[in-house]
Structure formats: C-alpha cells, structure tokens
Structure 1
Amino acid sequence: MSSPAANELTRWVRACLDHLQVERGLSSNTISNYRRDLDRYLTHLAGRGRTRVCDVTTDDVVSFARWLAEGDEQHPALAPASTNRAVVAVRTLHRFAVDDGFREDDPAAEVRVPSLQQRLPKALTLDQVTRLLQAPDTSEVDGLRDAALLELLYGTGARISEVCALDVDEVTRTLADDDLGLRLLGKGDKQRVVPLGSYARQAVDAWLVRGRPGWASRAARATPALLLNSRGGRLSRQSAWAVLQRHATAAALEVEVSPHSLRHTFATHLLDGGADIRVVQELLGHASVTTTQIYTKVTVEHLREVYLTSHPRAY
C-alpha cells in the first residue's frame, strides 16, 4: 500500500492533469504525454527521497532534466525534443502547485528547457514517393485501403491522426463536388480545407467501391470511419504507421519514412514547385507562418545541393 506522502505527490499530479484537461482544454494526446513525463518525475523524486510537494527543490528539477538527457543503466537518454517536453511538463506542474496553493514558491521557475538544435526535415524525392505510392497491391482489399491511406497522407499533407479520423460522409461529399475541398480537423479542434487531387480521389473511390463494404460488414456495429481495419473498425494511428512502414520496406526506400516525413515531403514539394509559403501554411494548418518557414530552409538546402553538384564553378 502506498504511503500518505506518496499519495500527496500522486494527488498533486492528478489535480494538475485534470486542470490541464478540463480548464485549459489540452488534447488527450498532450495529456497522455504529460502523464508519462510526470510519472517519470515522481519516480525520480522518490529516488531522491522526496515525499511531499513542499520538499522538492530546484536541484531536484535540474537533476531530473539531466537524468532525462543523459540516461543511466536502466533508462536510456531521451531525445532532446522529449527531454524538452518533459521539462515543460514539470514546470507546468510546479506553476500549478503555486497557483492552486500546494506550495508558495516555484522551484522550477528558473529551470530552462534544453535548447534544441533545429533539424531540417528529411523530404523524400519524387522517385521515392512514387515507389512508395505504387507499393500496395490494389488487387487485394488491404492494398486498396493502404493505397488510399498513402495517397491521402502525401496528397493532402495531413497528420496521421487527421487521416484516421476521416469519415465516409465527409469524403464522399468531397468526391461528389470537384470544387469542394476535404475538411480536416487538426490540433486544437481547428478545421481547415485542403484540395483533394485526382490520384487521391481515385484511390479513395476504389477503396470505397471495391474494398470498404466487405470489411465494414465484419463489424458488430456500423462505423462512419473511412479507413478500416480487417475487423471493420476504424484504423488506428498505430496500425496506419505499421502500414506505412511495411510499404516503405516493400519499396526498398533507403531513407527513414514516417507519416510526418510524408507531411514534410508534401510541403517541400509544394515550395519546390513555386507555392507561396502562406498557402503552404494554410494547407498544413500551422497557426503561425514561422512554423512553416523551416520548409523554406529545406528548399534552400536542396537548391544549394543542386548548385554544388551541377555548376562547373561551384568548387
């Protein structure tokens, strides 16, 4: 049985997560990430003998950040972005402790998140994308589903969660009217409309006509989901990720491929083709154009590589 002191720390974290979800409206994915990070934090505090909220010191917070970044024999070091997120979660927890009267001072106030070296996204080449999109065997039902998934990811630049959340009614409405775009529900429940190109339209239509009805009939209850698993339920993000990995392997791609790299590729290819950055911002659903500007750096880097390999006086 856990001690009253341990219960105090657990109640502190639970109260903070409830506040973030109910009062600040953070998404379930963000709450899940915060819960995992804060569970790590409680484990670290227990290892340092901290039993009450008021016992925690700035050194404890700094030690936790260092532990995440460096790791130990039992726990490998986290990636810089994951360490950054965990420190933000801890700072949020301590700010909540002050605001909600758990303690008067904030030991995390002066702890800064580790600086992150901005990494340029890895975009696939057009040849690599073509090989990936041609990998599914569309003579099979799962191949029809997979082709629709991949065409939607690359053709719209949508997040994997946005594609998996699509319902049949929304897509058929778009298919029926060439002038209508596809409505996607993004982060913070913000809706945006993206065009649906001919390749994606054909792949989705083939899935709806030749594939989905058979799998939908296997479910105990009808579902509005566009993309299904073999049991007739909505395709999960994890399963969609596995589909992408399977076809990337089949296409013998020599680069790491993820749903997010397809999103990177969508944006980079648009900019390479002359699209305005503000248009790309709207298509990606970025709140600020600053977020989108990283793709312009990718394009500049691409131009530099072409110059260095093509111009006789580059060197």
Structure 2
Amino acid sequence: MTRADDPHPLPEVVAAYLDHLAVERGTARNTVEGYARDLRRYLDHLAAAGVTELRQVAHDHVLAFGVSLRRGDGDRPPLAPSSAARALSAVRGLHRFAHAEGWTDDDPAREVRPPAPARRLPKALPLSDVLRLLDTPAGEDARSLRDRALLELLYSTGARISEATGLDVDDVDRQERTVVLDGKGGRQRLVPVGRPALEALDAYLIRARPALAAKGRGTSAMFLNARGGRLSRQGAWQVLKSAAERAGISATVSPHTLRHSFATHLLEGGADVRVVQELLGHASVATTQVYTLVTVNTLREVYATTHPRALG
C-alpha cells in the first residue's frame, strides 16, 4: 500500500481517478471524457509551475488554476463560468479521491470554491412591443378570439403558461375581476385581471368557446384547442411564439416573456416588490428581486443616454 509521502506522479493519479469514476461510480462516458479534458488542462497548468507529483500540490496551486480558467492560461482562452465551475469540480473530485485513498495527508482543493454561475436576468419586452403583440390576433374567428384572450390574460395576470392552460371557466370571476391560479407546489393565488383582458375573455367565451366546445366531449377548461379539448402548454407557447413573429418582435421570446414583462412593468411603475412577489406566486421574495436588477439596469441606461453629464 502506498503512503502519503510516497511519490505519486500526477498523470497516474488522474488515470486512477478516471477509472474510479467509470468503473466504480458508473459515471456517464461523456462526463468522464469532459473531466479528462479538464484534468489535462490542470496537469499542464501544474507542470508549468514545476509541479509533477501529487504531494507537491498546494492550495495556492489549485487557486491559481481557478483564476487561470477565468482569465485564460497560455494559449488557452478563458472559460465561461459554467465551464470553469465544471473544471474546478473535476479538480476537487480528483483531490478528494486521492485524499480518501490515503495518498495525501490533506486535500489542497477542499477550500477552493467554483465561481458562482452568472445570474440570468429575465428578459422583458418594452411596453410598445407588448401592446403590438397583444394586438396581433386581429381576426374575429374563434382561434383569433381565443389567442387574444390568452395573451391578454398572460400579460394582465403574470400567469405562467401552464397556469393559464390549467384554468377552468369558473376560475375567472368577471364580477370581482379576479382569477384563481394554481401555481407550483399546489399553491393557489388570487390575482386581479385588467379590463382589456376581461373584455377579451368575454368576447372569447361568448363568440368562440361554444363553437370550439361543440367539437369535443365537454370540458370545463377555459382555453380549448381546435378539437374541443384543453389547450396544451405547448399549444399556448406556439400561440405566443406565432404572435411575436407576426408582430415583428426581434427580441427572443420565451414562454415566460409576458410574465417577465408583467413583473418588470409593475416594478417600473412603482409597485412594491413584495406585492409583485404575491402576484407572481414566488415562495421567496429573493426570486422576485431579480426583476429589480432589470429595472436598475434600465435606469442606468436611460441615465447614461439622457443626462448631459452622465459621461463626465
């Protein structure tokens, strides 16, 4: 049995670790291959620092490798945060394995943390784009009336597409101007509905839904497909995507685009973040606060482009 003070050439340690992943852990082949690439880069980095044996590796070497991943190393370009995090995970796994085998007295990578992933800010549309999108289903046929009602409801309430397609007719109280949404984790919430959305729903319920319902076997669903059944999430997403294309919106549109726009426009209008949290059905206000970053960025852009001494 080898001891911690015995020499352990790093390439042999890496080979043993990769075998451990593939044979004993049953790690997927693609993952093992990705780790192998990351660890080759690690060995090259250590070799450039004169480190060739496991016992020579110190905390500072691992830390310097993490920095090199983000800044670039020799001819190698910097990695994206997600790729850098994966490479450091490979290194941490290598040293954890070597320490567990008794080949080192300590783990030099234990205190090195991968970079936090970049926070993706929600993409909201400008109000002018939203209004143009809502006006796109301009026909008076059953499908256009349904699509207009669906889009208006999504923007008016901030509902997820799955919440909108899960609605039943009785979930909308047109007298109280509210809708009951079934959110994640079985949590229900009561959300106000704006007048334009209610008018679009009335037009759909009176002039379109009965004809669609007649093609099916009877359902309480609010939004119906061409066969009279409940409109699917995929079907609703296609409605949004098609409307955005017809409206000539160049920005990327996702199933959550109108939900993001709903939240951003409320905060820009002065709504309290905790009120927006309740409307969106977020369990934590921290999730909602991401939208405040979007509005701050917008303020910065407006300031930089309009204030006469912004660049001074």
What's the TM-score once normalised by structure 2's chain length? 0.66
**Would the aligned equivalents of 1:153 and 1:259 in 2 still touch at CA under 8 Å?**
no
In the other structure, the counterpart of 1:26 is none
Quote the Cα distance in structure 2 between the aligned partners of 1:130 and 1:299: 19
In the other structure, the counterpart of 1:190 is 187
In the other structure, the counterpart of 1:203 is 200
In the other structure, the counterpart of 1:91 is none
Give the CA deviation at 1:157.
0.5
In the other structure, the counterpart of 2:214 is 217
For 2:132, the aligned partner's letter is R
Gaps of 5+ in 1: 1-44, 71-78, 88-109
Percentage identity across paired residues of the two chains:
55
Quote the Cα distance in structure 1 between the aligned partners of 2:164 and 2:267: 22
Correspondence 1:176 to 2:175? yes
Quote the Cα distance in structure 1 between the aligned partners of 2:268 and 2:258: 15
Alignment CA distance shift 1:63-1:268 (3 Å): same
In the other structure, the counterpart of 1:272 is 268
Quote the Cα distance in structure 2 between the aligned partners of 1:257 and 1:202: 25
In the other structure, the counterpart of 1:146 is 147
Q: How do residues 128-143 of structure 1 correspond to structure 2 at under 5 angstroms?
A: 128-143=129-144
Q: Pick the aligned partner of 2:249 from 237, 250, 253.
A: 253
Quote the Cα distance in structure 2 between the aligned partners of 1:118 and 1:264: 15
Alignment CA distance shift 1:246-1:311 (3 Å): same
SS of 1:259 mapped into structure 2: coil
Gaps of 5+ in 2: 1-17, 38-80, 90-110
CA RMSD of aligned residues (A): 3.4
Quote the Cα distance in structure 2 between the aligned partners of 1:159 and 1:265: 12
**Would the aligned equivalents of 1:132 and 1:248 in 2 still touch at CA under 8 Å?**
yes
Q: Tell me which structure has the larger Cα radius of gyration.
A: 2
Greater share of helix: 1
Quote the Cα distance in structure 1 between the aligned partners of 2:264 and 2:299: 12
Quote the Cα distance in structure 2 between the aligned partners of 1:113 and 1:61: 22
Alignment CA distance shift 1:118-1:49 (3 Å): closer
Alignment CA distance shift 1:309-1:184 (3 Å): same
In the other structure, the counterpart of 2:121 is 120
Give the CA deviation at 1:122.
1.4
**Would the aligned equivalents of 2:237 and 2:255 in 1 still touch at CA under 8 Å?**
yes
Quote the Cα distance in structure 2 between the aligned partners of 1:66 and 1:122: 34
Quote the Cα distance in structure 1 between the aligned partners of 2:119 and 2:33: 20
For 2:180, the aligned partner's letter is R
Quote the Cα distance in structure 2 between the aligned partners of 1:235 and 1:129: 22
Give the CA deviation at 1:272.
0.3
Quote the Cα distance in structure 2 between the aligned partners of 1:233 and 1:146: 15
Give the CA deviation at 1:212.
0.4
Q: How do residues 267-306 of structure 1 correspond to structure 2 at under 5 angstroms?
A: 267-306=263-302
Correspondence 1:244 to 2:243? no
Alignment CA distance shift 1:307-1:288 (3 Å): same
Quote the Cα distance in structure 2 between the aligned partners of 1:254 and 1:164: 26
Q: Which runs of 4+ in 1 moved over 3 A?
A: 60-63, 65-68, 112-115
> C-alpha offsets along residues 18-73 of structure 1, whole Å, 9 cap, x if unaligned?
xxxxxxxxxxxxxxxxxxxxxxxxxxx9xx865xxxx316xx379738749x9xxx
Give the CA deviation at 1:144.
0.4
Give the CA deviation at 1:176.
2.8
**Would the aligned equivalents of 1:155 and 1:200 in 2 still touch at CA under 8 Å?**
yes
What's the TM-score once normalised by structure 1's chain length? 0.65
For 1:151, the aligned partner's letter is E
Give the CA deviation at 1:262.
1.3
Q: Pick the aligned partner of 1:231 from 224, 227, 230.
A: 227
Give the CA deviation at 1:138.
3.4
Quote the Cα distance in structure 1 between the aligned partners of 2:290 and 2:32: 27
**Would the aligned equivalents of 2:22 and 2:28 in 1 still touch at CA under 8 Å?**
no
